[in-house]
Every structure is written in structure tokens, then in C-alpha cells.
């Protein structure tokens, strides 16, 4: 079946969410990835929402983290403090974050563009719970288009910490050892992080995407996995589920 870039990114992200793991998601593509994973791969995946929904069986795509659907057949209708406390206790495996800029160490900016905080060129939505999630969840993932303005050498503001300045920096800042950025899934490739340098390392390229195109759309030097592979395209079952059950009105997959 033919697919668009958004469908490819969602399907690839869903495959990383193992059964019996816990993921905190917002709305949009991350929520679609979690819903798809729960239906196809990981029936015991526990989904959590920042506003307090814990373990819902989502009947359809919610439009906000406080949507009543985020509590449908849930284990608990709790609160933001309880969700954040669960992250602080080290119980949450995955989270998805987004932003306007990301650097080679996975630091994310969703606060401002410019050099003057009081008078920025662009004022962005800010952190919300993103800093807490990036700091306290074990693995952070990102689903995003790839271009040199977004993937930049130096971000204008660190809203959500990745590996900060490199090896050991998260631990020195008091963040949980072993936590940090995990995967960045773009319209061009899947990127992981090198264990020694903590820099972005391309693990797979999407079908038909040349290495040169990825380099052109990145504002810093990428590392490349020695066993670089081609991303597996969405299966017919993934696409059927995504289109018919997860996002039948194309709120998300129609954005491509």
C-alpha cells in the first residue's frame, strides 16, 4: 500500500514501544504511534497523558491531553502531579517531545527563536511539561520533519534537556543516569545516539532517500551507523489500522 511521510514516521515510532512498557504522550503523531502500537504490537502498552489519564484504551484520536477520551476505560483518572510523580519515581519508559529546534545532543528548543529572551524573533509555546518529561523519563523520542533550520548546530534556548554538552553532562546536572534521548524519527531517516559521544547517529535511511539529502537537511555533522539499514516501510496491517481505527478522519496522517 502507498503511504505518506507522516504515516511512515508514525509506523516506525510505534515499533519501538514494547509490550508492558509505559509511555507518556501528547496529542498528534506521538498519540497515533502509541495507539497503533497498542492495537498491533503491544496490547499491554500503558499510555499516560499529562492531564491525568492513566492506561486508557483510546476509542479514537483525542484532540487534547485533557480530552475525555484520554480517560476512556482507563486505570485511573488522576492529575498532572500524579503523572509527573510517576515519571519522577522512574516508572516511565518512554516519552515523545517536539520543538522548533534540536541539536546534535538531542537538546530541544520550544521556547523562543532569537538571542534576546525578552524580545525574541519568535515566541514559541514554551515547555509545558516537556522539561519534566525529558528530564525524568528513561527514553525520549521525537517525530519531526528534517531540515537545517530545525536540526541546528546551536539551539537558541534549551527547553528540554537532551545530553546537554555531551557524555556525562546529564548526570552532572543531576538527571537520572541512563536516561536521555533515544530515537529521532524524521521524514528522511531514523536517528539514534552514539553511546560514547552522545551525538546523533543515523541508524536507517528511508526507502529512496540518499545519504546526501539527509546531510543537506541537517545543520551539523551526523554520525553514521556502521550497519546502516533501510527502514522497513509500513505493512498493510499497520496502514489499515492507522487509517481505519487510529485516525480515520485524517487529523494527523492528512498533514503530510
What residues are labeled active site?
Answer: 50
How many residues in total does the chain contain? Answer: 256
Q: What are phi and psi of 53, to 5 degrees?
A: -70, 125
Q: Residue 225's Cα: distance from chain center in Å?
A: 20
Taken in order 63, 38, 238, 93, the sign of the CA dihedral is: positive
Determine the 3-state secondary structure of 123 from DSSP: strand
How many helices, marked H, and strands, marked E, lie in the chain? 7, 14
Q: What is the dihedral of CA 95, 107, 219, 166, to 10 degrees?
A: -120
Question: How many angstroms separate the first and last alpha carbons of the chain?
Answer: 16
Q: Rounded CA gap, 167 and 165, in Å?
A: 7
Determine the 3-state secondary structure of 48 from DSSP: strand
Determine the 3-state secondary structure of 8 from DSSP: helix
Determine the 3-state secondary structure of 32 from DSSP: helix
Amino acid at each position: 500500500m502507498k503511504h505518506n511521510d507522516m504515516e511512515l514516521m508514525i509506523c516506525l515510532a510505534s515499533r519501538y514501544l514494547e509490550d508492558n512498557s509505559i509511555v507518556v504522550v501528547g496529542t498528534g503523531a506521538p498519540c497515533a504511534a502509541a495507539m497503533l502500537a497498542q492495537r498491533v504490537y503491544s496490547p499491554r502498552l500503558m499510555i499516560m497523558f499529562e492531564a491525568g489519564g492513566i492506561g486508557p484504551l483510546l476509542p479514537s484520536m483525542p484532540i487534547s491531553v485533557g480530552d475525555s477520551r484520554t480517560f476512556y476505560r482507563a486505570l485511573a483518572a488522576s492529575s498532572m502531579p500524579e503523572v509527573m510523580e510517576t515519571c519522577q519515581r522512574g516508572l516511565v519508559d518512554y516519552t515523545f517531545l517536539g520543538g522548533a529546534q534540536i541539536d546534535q545532543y538531542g537538546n530541544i528548543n520550544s521556547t523562543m527563536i532569537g538571542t534576546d529572551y525578552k524580545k525574541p524573533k519568535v515566541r514559541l509555546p514554551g515547555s509545558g511539561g516537556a522539561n519534566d518529561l525529558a528530564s525524568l523519563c528513561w527514553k525520549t523520542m521525537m517525530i519531526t520533519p528534517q531540515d537545517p533550520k530545525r536540526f541546528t548546530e546551536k539551539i537558541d534556548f534549551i527547553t528540554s534537556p537532551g545530553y546537554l554538552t555531551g557524555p556525562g553532562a546529564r548526570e552532572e546536572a543531576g538527571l537520572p543516569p541512563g536516561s536521555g534521548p533515544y530515537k529521532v524519527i524524521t521524514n528522511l531517516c531514523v536517528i539514534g545516539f552514539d553511546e560514547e559521544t552522545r551525538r546523533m547517529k543515523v541508524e536507517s535511511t528511508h526507502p529512496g532517500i540518499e545519504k546526501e539529502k539527509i546531510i543537506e537537511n541537517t545543520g551539523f555533522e551526523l554520525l553514521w551507523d556502521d550497519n546502516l539499514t533501510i527502514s522497513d516501510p509500513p505493512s498493510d496491517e499497520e496502514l489499515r489500522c492507522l487509517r481505519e481505527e487510529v485516525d480515520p478522519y485524517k487529523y494527523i496522517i492528512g498533514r503530510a
